[in-house]
Each structure stands twice: as structure tokens, then as C-alpha cells.
Amino acid sequence: MDSATLAAASEALRGPVIGPQDPAYDGARTVYNAMIDKRPGAIVRCADAVDVVDAVRFARDHGLDLAVRGGGHSGPGLGLVDGGMTVDLAPMRWVRVAPAARIAQVGGGSLLGDLDHAAGGFGLGTPAGIVSTTGVGGLTLGGGHGYLTRRYGLTIDNLLGADVVLADGSLVSASEVSHPELFWALRGGGGNFGVVTSFTFHLHPVGTVGLALTLWPLERLHDVLRWYREFLPQAPDDVYGFFAVLTVPPAPPFPEKIHGRKMCGVVWCRTGDQDRIEDGVRDVLAAADEPGRPAFGFGAPMPYTAVQSMFDELLPPGLQWYWRGDFFDEIPDAALDVHRTYAEALPTPLSTMHLYPVDGAAHRLGRGDTAWSYRDARWSGVFAGIDPDPANAGAVRQWCVDYWQEMHPYSMGGAYVNFMGAGEGEERVRATYRDHYDRLARVKRTYDPENVFHVNQNIRPA
């Protein structure tokens, strides 16, 4: 961006416009994933919807590539664009809860921790991801899954409405009754349709949940996965457990003798009747003896908000991340050796693979009710190579790609859009949306015919 355009942007926009010469520039272009090193021409910090309107119009009028940054957690760094303009929603972190109506309105730049804190104060919550520094914006628009998903569905299943700044700079409210096609597309279609300045969510009573961790040595991985793939799908909706391969962190609650060991395990979350949470934890721990007594088992009732942030310290901003994903409806015997091989080859202590359940309540919506097209998937898998040291970037990337490639034949063909990596290509985006792609492309033609919002896993206008 030339200096005259940058000066014009500073003049035209109310929020601070941060350019490459600004001392705040390097901080402003830093996102969660330290592998991302993009240099926008300008970063506009938007305080409200009017700032967003002005920024979108300015970018259009000057033919600038436009990126939208919510929480900045996108693996491929889709909140930034080289040379163009980033609309940074960080100042729009606010949450307004109506406890009696069980509704939360959430600013477009809010983080999950903002929502969990505000709703949690009233014993309420809604399904969202497992690290509290993740943005509500990107997570919701891609679908959103977490500890409450088997009980209350995906994040989008609890979205009641959204205020959206469209490509032409107009602001609309989308819901079941207002711009229903746009509302359908927002629920899973990613950031393709506009800038969401506020989300409205339905909340549920959550309060205390039962957290449990069970870990086994890798020699037991085949037995554990054979048991897990049968146990979880038939378990009641208030039993949630994601499977992981991991290196045991050198910290409590893990005993020293397993610190640094490569293991497999399940992170459990029991919800439901507050009087039965302790029993629920006991039941899960007892069930987990089935594939062989875990080397480590722990369980306790905890505030939901504490569970939501328990991985924050392990995964601070500034690590190198490379990830890929795929949906799975089964874990066939043939895949077990692949999991064991790559678990043994975990390249760094933080690298991991998770299988997140997306069944239970998430299966009770119709396939066409939202843009999320994998209502038949049981697990959303992510292969994540992670390390603080940039020197290990190549190794974590290679492990992730190799593992993903070997597991892909056992997948359903497409990935959760929020677990797609950089430049996976249009065919992969189509595989994510399957037969919803054409409908999404028609909505895109209506609301963003010139593809102004293209810095995302892009859906081209029909």
C-alpha cells in the first residue's frame, strides 16, 4: 500500500490505522501461530460496526485485499493479508448476557474466554472450543465444537442471529426470519459472507462439570481405540471424551514417572444433573478400565469455565503450528497401526492428534439445516505439529502432513473448515462443504458477488 493510500486511510477511518512504519506494527501483525509472518499494508483497529463499514468501503474503493481478524487463532493466519488491509476486531470484545432469557450477545472480536466468563457468572454457557484464547468469530463461523457438543450441539446450533457488514458496506441482521439464506450460510461457511460485528447465542445451564483424564501407554493404543470407538457413540449425550495421542507434560496433575512419555488418552467431560456430576466422573473412570487399567486416571468436578481454560497455559500464543484435519465416521482396524506409528514418532512434546466427537446433539439437526455438511461424522480429527522453536517448523510440518496423508483414506473425504491448513486448494474446500458448496456459492453471489471476502477458505461466487 503506498503512503498516500495509508494516509488517506488514517484520515477516513476513526479507529487507529497501523502501517509498517508504526512502532505498534509488529505487535499488531502478530497472530497466535508464530509460523505466520504476513505484512499487511495497514491494520485497522475497529471499535464498532461503523468503523467496520468504513473500513470495508475504503478497502473496496481502493481495490485493497481485505482480511478480517477475530481472535487471530487461524492456523494458516487467515486474519492477515500481505500488502492489503486487515480489519482487526480486537477492540470489539464485549459480551452482554440476559440471564433470564438465556441469551448472550457477543462482540465480533471477542474471545471464548470473554463469553465463558460472562455467561459462566450466571451458571450458563454454550458449546465452544477448548482453548479460551480462541476467537468467537472464526470458531463460530466455521461451526465450532467442544466439551458441550454431544449435549448441546455445535456452536452454530446455538446461534440465534448475527449482525453482518456486507461487501457493499451495508449492515444487516441475519437470523431464521431475516436474511435466512445468509444466516444458513454463516453457520459453517466461514468468513466468506461479511464481517460479523455481533453474534447472539442461546445459553444453557452448565455450572459444574466433571473433568476426567485417562492415559495409557502406546502399547495399549489398539485396545483403547477399539474400546473408545464402541463406547463413546452409544454413551449418553452428557458423556463427552476426545481421544488424543500426546507426550505427557512435565507438570501436575501427572506423576513424575510418566512425564515426557508418549501416550494415548481420553479427555472426558461429564455434564448434566449437578447432583450427579461426581457419580458421572466415577462412572467414566470405571468404564475406562475396560481396555486395561489406565496408567493415569484423574477425575473431579470443576467449574465449566476452569475446564474451558485448562489448556491455555500449555498452549500460549507464539508457538509454531502446522495442522490439517479430516472428518471420520469410523476408526477401522486398519487405521490403528497408523495412529500407533505416528504417536511413537511425535516430533516434539506439544505435537498431538485429537479426535473430537461431533455426534450426540450435533447429529439431531438435519443435514441441510446449516452449511455444516458433516452431520453424519462422528469425529472431527486434527493433526497438529506444534513447537516453540522455529528450527523445528519443518519437522512438525512433515509429521503432520505424513500422518494426515496416511489417515486420509480412512476419512470421510473433507475436513472441518477451521482445521484446514494453508493453501489446501479449492477441491479441499469443496470436500468440506460437499453438496452444500453450490448453495453456498449462490449465497456468495447474492451477498459478495465480487469476492471481496476472499482471505479465508474461499467459496467462489456462483
Residue of the chain from 18, 51, 55, 69 that contacts ligand FAD (CB under 6 A): 69
If one asks whether residue 161 binds ligand FAD (CB under 6 A), the answer comes out as no
User: Whose CA is closest to 167, among 182, 157, 147?
Assistant: 182
Residue of the chain from 196, 225, 264, 353 that contacts ligand FAD (CB under 6 A): 196
Tell me whether residue 99 or residue 316 sits nearer to ligand FAD (CB atom). 316
If one asks whether residue 15 binds ligand FAD (CB under 6 A), the answer comes out as no
* Smallest distance, ligand FAD to C-beta of residue 276, A: 25
If one asks whether residue 125 binds ligand FAD (CB under 6 A), the answer comes out as no
**Candidates 12-20, 139-147, 251-259, 282-290 — which segment interacts with ligand FAD by CB under 6 A?**
139-147
Angstrom distances, CA of residue 454 to CA of 65, 428, 448: 8, 16, 10
Residue of the chain from 85, 244, 456, 459 that contacts ligand FAD (CB under 6 A): 456
Tell me whether residue 258 or residue 302 sits nearer to ligand FAD (CB atom). 302
Residue of the chain from 15, 19, 41, 71 that contacts ligand FAD (CB under 6 A): 71
**Candidates 188-196, 206-214, 301-309, 345-353 — which segment interacts with ligand FAD by CB under 6 A?**
188-196
Phi, psi of 160 (to 5 degrees): -95, -25
**Candidates 35-43, 66-74, 285-293, 429-437 — which segment interacts with ligand FAD by CB under 6 A?**
66-74
* Smallest distance, ligand FAD to C-beta of residue 433, A: 15
If one asks whether residue 195 binds ligand FAD (CB under 6 A), the answer comes out as yes
Residue of the chain from 35, 46, 130, 400 that contacts ligand FAD (CB under 6 A): 130
Residue of the chain from 19, 41, 70, 349 that contacts ligand FAD (CB under 6 A): 70
* Smallest distance, ligand FAD to C-beta of residue 163, A: 10
Q: Which residues bind ligand FAD (CB under 6 A)?
A: 32, 68-75, 78-79, 89, 108, 129-131, 134-135, 137-139, 141-142, 144-146, 190-191, 195-196, 315, 418, 456
